[in-house]
Structure 1
Amino acid sequence: MTLHHITSTRRSFLAGAGLIIGFSLAPKIFAARAFEGIQAGGGEALSTMNAFVKIGTDDTVTVLSKHIEFGQGPFTGLATIVAEELDADWSQMRAVHSPADDKIYANLAFGLQGTGGSTSIGNSYEQLRKAGATARAMLVSAAAEEWGVPASEITVEHGRIKHAASGKESGFGALASKAAKQLPPAEPKLKDPQNFTLIGKELPKLDTLGKTNGTAVFTLDITADNMLYATVAHAVHFGAAVKSVDDAEARKVQGVVDIRQVPQGVAVYADNTFAALKGREALKIEWDLSKAETRSSDELAADYAKLFNEKGLEATNTGNVESAFTGNGVQTLEAEITFPFLAHAPMEPLDAVFIKAADGSVDIYNGAQFPGMDKNTAAKVLGLDPGKVRVNTQLAGGSFGRRAQFGSPYIQEAAAVFGATDGSRPVKHMWTREDDIRGGFYRPMYVHKMRGAIDPDGRIIGWDQAIVGQSILAKADLDESSVEGASNLPYVIPNLRVISHNTTLAVPPLWWRSVGHTHTGFAVETFVDELLEKVNKDPVEGRLALLTREPRHMATLKKVAEMADWGSQVPEGRQRGVAVVKSFGTYVAQIVEVSVADDGTPRVHKVWCAVDCGVAINPNVITAQMEGGIGYGVGAILFDAITLGEGGKIVQSNFHDYRSLRINEMPAVEVAIIPSTENPTGVGEPGVPPVGPAIANAWRRLTNSPVRRLPIVSVLSA
């Protein structure tokens, strides 16, 4: 079986080296370098120092990333951590995906292998430092043995091992095989952070070259000889099921090989993508809507609002909220904010390749965010022992939460589609953009009801917030992801109450980039801004006065105000807004400058961003993630909504009606990283939450119209 887009060397290594299956999944440009020794023959090309570090005879150091690389930077970040403790030169470093193994490669924040919650660097920091330090110690031990000198006299710098007294010197590769046989230290000595030479430096990303010259391999790139292309017809109502199928016309489409019903819909198998899609279009399916969600988004919002009158789940209740609203001279403010369903819309839709080996085992190639879970799910669907299933994690073209599904429902579908065949032909299971936009697993729809009380001295003394929406974790009791950022309000307000109401819909929910902070950050930061405005307090100074218990909040806010020269003259026709949100342990403050475009909608000109994410492993990656998060957030706040129309039918289908921010709409972005000695925290998600409320705050000041429903542009054009 020839698997295209993967070199023959990498294929043979797949078969012969169980521990390093993950190497086959690197971009070709890096794989060719990492496997140079194998191609040349003679000796062992890669020596295993530990589960995370392998050293080649050519001095290359390959880091096995337990976290998927889909643009957020773990290949570069984790390699930087290893290189620092190994005292390697950056030119030596490579990174590939590790094998799927929930024990060896567990995310220490989750307890199983997975990427999410902006945890990749934070949970790996000490672990990968130790992996690098262990490899260094083993190389030094090997050199001491080889040269007959004390290990204490050996130094390592820029990838070279040296013994000054004897003049002996070596690269890593010449000693790698011997080093791999050394007893690793139980507790390797770690560097004093003051001596870091790579961490904190602007190092080029390891995956940039492959992604810019086209050699990077994604699941979409992978094909195999005699491969079938499969696509599934899904209902356009959530919760609907197939009632009957007429596939006569579909089977007439040239290239269509077979049509099978699977639990998720009707699968069409063909010799090429075009035939699979044309065959799917020709299907005549009658859907059973008896268990489907048939309410429109407007009807859902109305039903959600009714829950405000019912007792909810208490997330926070401090002080005496009711008395705060009834005191003499108290001013009050109320707001109700509606948030739509949101799709993730990554550039690469969901896809997977299934290949059955002669021994009955199955290889899966996919952008696996939870590879162990994908492996176990596929094994269950196919009736195989998990040991007979290998998940080969690929680079992925984005995710934003979409690939991180408990129970791996997409792999359930892909495995069901493959399992409906005899397995004699590889199957590439593909979703189109329309499948992705209409596929559910959305950021849930939420409605917030806010009440604020201000005493005669202008102090905010009461905050009452109720949140209605689906529990992403499908909990009957309080789901912390629904209230995070609100229940732990950073502002000092003596009387605080936050209530949550869980709703049950047929629309499958899922976390979306920055999870609960996507809506709580907006609600909190727009409402506090309005309360401050009501008593004529400056948005920055007013916040600082409320953040006395939060020094890192204060520092980021002060920094961004300094960057934007807050308080200076704003260009005519423009206004600025500010927001500060802590999410996933990272503090981000942003100021935006907005005007009214010719069509009457917001035009975001510039965003200033200050971020405190602890130790800055690679400022280049951090800046890029802030920029990307800002672009993603601006697009969502201005344009994005998944709408259920009349009868609950999904309205949007592609980028023409669920559109992303376009390049000419991207604001200028200036990022400042606050120096810190705290342990590193994530940056993949925290750049998103502040930009929405900062835009809304600027828009309110510009137009005197508070934003009560998102997205802003859709509301303005309605």
Structure 2
Amino acid sequence: MSQGLLDAQNGASRATDGSRITRRTFLKFGVTVGVATGGGLLLGFSLPAASQGGTAALRKTVIGGDGNETAQSGVFAPNAFIQIDTAGKVTLVIPKVEMGQGVYTSIPMLIAEELEVPLDSVTIDHAPPDEKLFMDPLLGGQLTGGSTSIRYAWEPMRRAGATARVLLIGAAAQQWQVDPASCHAENGQVIHAASNRNVAYGQLVGAAAKLPVPKDVPLKKPADFKLIGTPAKRLDSPEKVDGTAVFGLDVRLPGMVYAAIANCPVFGGTLASVDDTNAKKIPGVRQVVKIDNAVAVIGDHTWAAKRGVMALDIKWNEGEGANLSMKQIVADLAEASQHNGAVARKEGDVANAFSNAKTRIDAVYQQPFLAHATMEPINCTVHVQPGSCEIWVGTQVPTRAVDAGVKVTGLPAEKIVVHNYLLGGGFGRRLETDAITQALKVGKQLGVPVKVVWTREEDIQHDMYRPYYYDAISAGLDANGKPVAWQHRIVGSSIMARFAPPAFKNGLDPDAVEVAADLPYDLPNQLVDYVRQEPHAVPTAFWRGVGPTRGTFVVESFIDELAAQAKVDPVKYRRDLLGKSPRALNVLDVATNAANWGKTTAPKGQGRGVSVMHAFGSFFSMVADVTVDQGEVTVNRIVCAVDCGMVVNPNTIEAQVQGGIIFGITAALYSEITIEEGRVQQNNFTDYRMLRIDQAPEIEVHIVKSAEAPGGIGEPGTSALAPAVANAIYAATGKRLRHLPVGAQLKTA
């Protein structure tokens, strides 16, 4: 998910007169405070959409989503992000899910900084599904995506910690009968240096909860940060290393059975009939369950269920989808590109600028369907009973999991309990609830807990795919090779129209045009539009970076084409166009200087490419060094400069950029989902290739110091990668590759 959804959800728009999308960068939060009957201080903040203007209620509740929940008497958990008990233990209920991006460390750092507690003293808990209380205003829901976690949490989480600290200091000052200004907090206690007294937080929570909540508590100045901006070890690493971390796939319940799935191989097809005679003869197979477009075999263990699926004799109603092919999909996209689209940006007189241009360059770029291929296979455990429904799953959208339960079971939302877990990779795949819905349909027929696990083959062949995009782009150059006209048409599926219908307005998908409609370059005459073309029954969904990943590949590859046409070094060409974007220019300079751009000559068969990107509130530049040998591309080195504003945990930034780059290399060189006769042709990592560990390049990450508000970091590394690699291949071979994956195209070029 990208910035496009953020803009749309916030009611932002882009006018056809060329005005820029306006982004809300400041959020206001109300603070609530309460005291647990067990003696703990409970502090939380309410998002504007959730605030009712009343007082906090106290009740017995259950916190946790990992299956090991504990009842806490009097805890106001639904509206509390911080709990401090009488022992001084700080519990943080995280409104985001942890899928490897490090939010279970970075968000606690924000709290701990202002609360003045050691990071390792904070206990982490999953937030339960509650759209009102845990909504991210940037996304308009309780979602984890769009690289928004720190952007969302930056001020309110710090303010929550600061408010708690002020209350605790006030309670201590009242107890000592001194001026609160003469006290300070440090290491989980309040200290009065003048009298050499100190008291632990746990001894103050009762008194602190009775004090009036202060408004507009000042936050620390960056110069006073002790924790924010310093490298911190991941709080979730020890349990992931020793194997005690619990993912959705690890769920074990008393009386649980296991289900393996056979989905209809054709998009849009349904089940006609199934002969399960042989399947039921397999030891451990209990039952065969039919649903609309799939068959599930229920077994005592996964192996029995899987063997049972292999023994089924299934007949499918393939329908019209059986005729679908890549040739048809691409032809439809090409035909759609001949039509005018919804305008995303219009500046100047493009037609006149083209007519007066010295040179015109036209290009078509194509990017394939992509699967998510998360390392943790798709799985969901459910227990559906007449009056209740429980779901155990790792999901990026816990409230939508509740919605799925309501839709399938007919039960009210309060009867649906979702236990959320650590995610073994998300990348947008777990923003979807199709697998949850399927598990519920199976579980509804059983009445006992059932874990549904997709094989890798089912996962790849029945994913919800990154759309196939078709971009027609043109530029007019003056006598000096500088662009004076720019026209860019994006053609493809609209994820927004399905996922967030209010965001799809007047035929424009804000995610699809991300980056393309908001370039960092100074271009006087621009026209960017979007044509929606759905690929028949092929389901499409967000994939790491989505719009910016698509847009950056096209824009940065085409900028390189213009530089080549003008016979100007591609870095100099970019620098000359970035005068109005100092942060973009700066990261370009940092990356190219670190890579020693232009100071050495590459040997034959090697090349160097560059890219610049502004997306997710961050600025990136990458320099890629590659070797091309008999059509096989090796990425030797990536140098990346990152300006993501204020840094919370530099370790997380470096890790996320490294991971995003490796993810991006895989997609740029190898990844492609193709369809023939309505069927996905790839089925496992044998033909949906992954970058191997010995192929991982040397990666340098240079973090630019910045005083700006934090930007996103989870997706930009992937988004900025492909054009740098493609441009490096051009430098090595002289072949301009406009169709991803470049590895496959290079062999046929």
Give the TM-score, by structure 2 length: 0.87
Q: Which of 597, 607, 611 does residue 638 from structure 2 map onto?
A: 607
* Cα distance in 2, alignment partners of residues 45 and 384 from structure 1: 27
* Cα distance in 2, alignment partners of residues 667 and 162 from structure 1: 50
- Cα gap change, 1:255 to 1:717, in 2 (>3 Å): farther
Contact 1:49-1:179 at 8 Å conserved across structures: no
Matched, 1:593 2:618: no
* Cα distance in 2, alignment partners of residues 23 and 149 from structure 1: 43
Which one-letter code corresponds to 1:537 in the other structure?
V
Q: Which of 653, 664, 676 does residue 683 from structure 2 map onto?
A: 653
Contact 1:601-1:713 at 8 Å conserved across structures: yes
Structure 2 matches for 1:21-170, cutoff 5 A?
A: 21-22=63-64, 24=66, 51-170=80-199
What do the CA deviations read for 1:515-567 (whole angstroms, capped 9, x no partner)? Answer: 11121110100001110111111211211111222121111111111211211
* Cα distance in 2, alignment partners of residues 176 and 293 from structure 1: 65
* Cα distance in 2, alignment partners of residues 354 and 23 from structure 1: 14
What do the CA deviations read for 1:149-206 (whole angstroms, capped 9, x no partner)? Answer: 4333221113232122332223333334544454432333322222111111111111
Q: Which moved more, 1:702-711 or 1:156-165?
A: 156-165
* Cα distance in 1, alignment partners of residues 509 and 307 from structure 2: 43
Which one-letter code corresponds to 1:340 in the other structure?
P
Q: Which of 610, 621, 640 does residue 578 from structure 1 map onto?
A: 610
Contact 1:20-1:99 at 8 Å conserved across structures: no
Contact 2:326-2:675 at 8 Å conserved across structures: yes
Percent identical among aligned pairs is: 39
Which one-letter code corresponds to 1:711 in the other structure?
P
Q: Which of 486, 492, 497 does residue 527 from structure 2 map onto?
A: 497
What's 2:600 paired with?
Answer: 569
Contact 1:137-1:184 at 8 Å conserved across structures: no
* Cα distance in 2, alignment partners of residues 191 and 333 from structure 1: 52
Which one-letter code corresponds to 1:388 in the other structure?
K
Structure 2 matches for 1:299-378, cutoff 5 A?
A: 299-327=328-356, 330-355=358-383, 360-378=387-405
What's 1:9 paired with?
Answer: none
Q: Which of 465, 475, 490 does residue 442 from structure 1 map onto?
A: 465
What's 2:671 paired with?
Answer: 640
Q: Which of 405, 408, 415 does residue 381 from structure 1 map onto?
A: 408
Contact 1:20-1:98 at 8 Å conserved across structures: no
Classify the secondary structure of the residue corresponding to 1:466.
Answer: strand
Matched, 1:550 2:573: no
TM superposition shift of 1:24: 4.2
What's 1:196 paired with?
Answer: 225
Contact 1:218-1:397 at 8 Å conserved across structures: yes
TM superposition shift of 1:513: 0.4
* Cα distance in 1, alignment partners of residues 601 and 224 from structure 2: 43
TM superposition shift of 1:454: 1.0
- Cα gap change, 1:288 to 1:24, in 2 (>3 Å): closer
Which one-letter code corresponds to 2:632 in the other structure?
T
What do the CA deviations read for 1:679-718 (whole angstroms, capped 9, x no partner)? Answer: 1121000111111000000100110000121112222345
Gaps of at least 5 residues in structure 1 are: 1-15
What's 1:290 paired with?
Answer: 319
What's 1:240 paired with?
Answer: 269
What's 2:478 paired with?
Answer: 455
TM superposition shift of 1:49: 12
* Cα distance in 2, alignment partners of residues 500 and 546 from structure 1: 24
Q: Which of 655, 667, 671 does residue 624 from structure 1 map onto?
A: 655
* CA RMSD across the alignment: 2.3
Q: Which of 399, 416, 419 does residue 426 from structure 2 map onto?
A: 399
* Cα distance in 2, alignment partners of residues 603 and 141 from structure 1: 61
Q: Which of 415, 425, 432 does residue 440 from structure 2 map onto?
A: 415
Contact 2:429-2:464 at 8 Å conserved across structures: yes
Contact 1:293-1:507 at 8 Å conserved across structures: no
Contact 1:122-1:680 at 8 Å conserved across structures: yes
Give the TM-score, by structure 1 length: 0.91
Q: Which runs of 4+ in 1 moved over 6 A?
A: 43-50
Contact 1:201-1:617 at 8 Å conserved across structures: yes
Gaps of at least 5 residues in structure 2 are: 1-57, 498-503
What's 1:514 paired with?
Answer: 545
Structure 2 matches for 1:703-718, cutoff 5 A?
A: 703-717=733-747
TM superposition shift of 1:82: 0.3
Which one-letter code corresponds to 1:455 in the other structure?
D
* Cα distance in 1, alignment partners of residues 507 and 348 from structure 2: 23
Structure 2 matches for 1:259-274, cutoff 5 A?
A: 259-274=288-303
* Cα distance in 1, alignment partners of residues 201 and 268 from structure 2: 57
Q: Which moved more, 1:697-706 or 1:190-199?
A: 190-199
What do the CA deviations read for 1:87-114 (whole angstroms, capped 9, x no partner)? Answer: 1122212322111111111112123211
What's 2:555 paired with?
Answer: 524
